[in-house]
Amino acid sequence: MSDTGNKLARHGGIYLLGNILQRSVSFVMLPIYTRYLTPADYGVLELLSMVIDFAGIIFGMRIADAIFRYYANYESWEEKNEVISTSLFLVFFMSLAGMLVIWASAGSLAKMVFGHRDYTLLLILFSMTLVTHSLIGVPLTFLKARQRSLTFLCFSMFKLIMQLGLNIYFIVFLGMRVEGVIYSALITGGLMAVALTVYTLSATGIRYSVPKAKEMIRFSVPLIGASILAFYFTFGDRYFLRLYGGIEEVGIYSLAYKFGFLLSFLVLSPFSSIWNAEKFHVAKRENAVQIYQNVFLVLSTLVLFCAVGMSLFVDELLMIMSDQGFWPAAQIVPVVVAAYVFQAWTNYGNLGIQLKAQTIKITYGNLLAAIVITPGYLFLIPTYGSMGAALATLLAFMARCWYINQSARRLFDMQLPWRRMLYAAALCTGAVSVSMTGPQSIAGGLVFDALVMAGFAVLFFLVPILPAEMRRACFRVLFHPKSLAAYIK
C-alpha cells in the first residue's frame, strides 16, 4: 500500500466532513433562507458576495495557491513555518487595504452593482469579511499542508455551530433578513480568524521572509489575471441577470448555482485538500502516470455519480424545503452541475502547468472561457434568462477544460483516458433526460428518480466505461473508502 494512498484514505474522509461542516451552513439554512428571505433578498446577498469575492481576488493576490507549492519545496520545519507565517501577514495587510478601498468607494460600488445606493451600508459591513476570510484561509491551508485533519475538523465544527445558531437567531427570531446573514458572517468570521491566527502563529512563530514573500508573489501574480477572468465567467452572469431580469432572477439562479458549489465541496474540495500537496510528490515517482490515471478514474466516477444524483432529485428536494417562488431553480441545476464536472476535470488536468510553473497558461484558459461566455451573457441571458446564464457557463467551462488539458499535456502527459469519460458523460446526460419525463408529484418523482438512478448505476458498471479492474475498485471504494489506497500505488 503506497504512502500516497494511505494519506488520501486517512485524511480524505476527515477533510470531506470538515468541508461539509464549514460550508454546509448555506445548505442547512436553505429551508430557512427560502422561507424567511425572498428571491430578491437572496439576490442581494449574492451580489454583495460578488463584490467581496472580486476584491478578494485583487487584494488577496491568490497567495494561498502558492503555499502548497513552496511549503513542499523546503525540507526543514523552520523554512516551512516561515512560508506559512509570511503568507499570513502578507494576505492580512493586502485584504485590510482592500477593505479600506471598498469603504472609500462603497456608494459608487453600490450604485454600479444594484442600480442605486440603498445597499451602501450593507456593502460596508460585509466588506469586513474580506479581512476575516484572509485570516481563516491561510491557517486552514496550513492545517492541510501539515495533514492536521482532526484539527481542521474541530475548527470546521466550531464554525458550523456558531454560524448556524447566529443565523437562526438573527433571521428567524429577530427577523433581520439580509442584515442577519451579514451579522452572523461577521461574528463567526471574526471569532474564527482570531482563533486560527493565534493557533497558527503559536505553531510557526512570528516570522516574515521578504525573499519567500517575493517567490510566492511571483508565482501568484499570473493567477490574479486568471482569477479575474474566472470571476467574470463564474459570477458575471449575476450582474447581467440583474440588468435584464431583476434581483429576483438573480436569487433563483443563485439557488441553482448552490448545487454546483455543493458538488465542489462534497467531492472536489476534500479531494484537493490532500491531493494539491501530494500530487507534486507523486510526479517524482517512477509509476507517476499510472497513479495519476487511477486517481483520475476514481475521482471522475465519484463526481459523475454525485452530479447525476443531484440532477435527478433536485425537483423533489426544492419542493420539500423551499417556497414555490424558488422552484424554477430545479430546471437550471443539471446544467450548472454539468459545468462543475468540467471544472473538476480542469483542476485535475492542469498538473503539467503547475509542475512547470507556467501558470500564465491558466490565465489563457480563463481568457478563452471569458471570450466564449460573453456572447452568452449578451444574447442567451436576455432571451432565456437563468437558463441562458447556465448554458453560457457550461460552454465556457467546457472550452476552458479543453484548453487547459491540452496545454498541460504538452508539459507533462498523464495520459488521462478522456474518451472513457466522454462516454460516461453521455450516459449521465441520458439519465437526466429520462428523469425529466417522470411524475411531477413528490412521492412519484422520488420513486421514479430512484429507479433511474439505479438503472444509471447498473449501466455505468456494465458498459465498459471503466476498465474491469477499476470497476471492481470503484465498488470497493464506494463501500469501503479506505480501499482507495490500494489502487493508487
How crowded is residue 103: how many other Cβ atoms within 10 Å of its Cβ? Answer: 12
**Domain interval for residue 134:** 3-487
d(CA 135, CA 215): 20
Q: Are 66 and 216 in contact (CB under 8 A)?
A: yes
Q: Are 356 and 219 in contact (CB under 8 A)?
A: no
Residue segments in the chain with a per-residue pLDDT below the cut of 50: 1-2, 4, 8, 487-488
So what's the pLDDT on residue 30? Answer: 75
So what's the pLDDT on residue 24? Answer: 63
d(CA 31, CA 276): 34
So what's the pLDDT on residue 261? Answer: 82
pTM: 0.76
- Looking at residue 374, its amino acid is T
d(CA 26, CA 60): 23
119-170: pLDDT as tens digits = 999 999 999 999 998 888 888 878 877 767 777 778 878 888 888 899 899 9
Largest distance between two CA atoms of the chain? 63
So what's the pLDDT on residue 205? Answer: 85
Domains in the chain: how many in total?
Answer: 1
348-406: pLDDT as tens digits = 988 888 888 787 888 889 889 999 999 999 999 999 999 999 999 999 999 999 999 99
So what's the pLDDT on residue 488? Answer: 47
Q: Are 481 and 341 in contact (CB under 8 A)?
A: no
DSSP secondary structure string, 365-389? HHHHHHHHHHHIIIIIHHHHTHHHH
So what's the pLDDT on residue 400? Answer: 94
How crowded is residue 411: how many other Cβ atoms within 10 Å of its Cβ? Answer: 16
N-terminal to C-terminal alpha carbon distance within the chain: 6
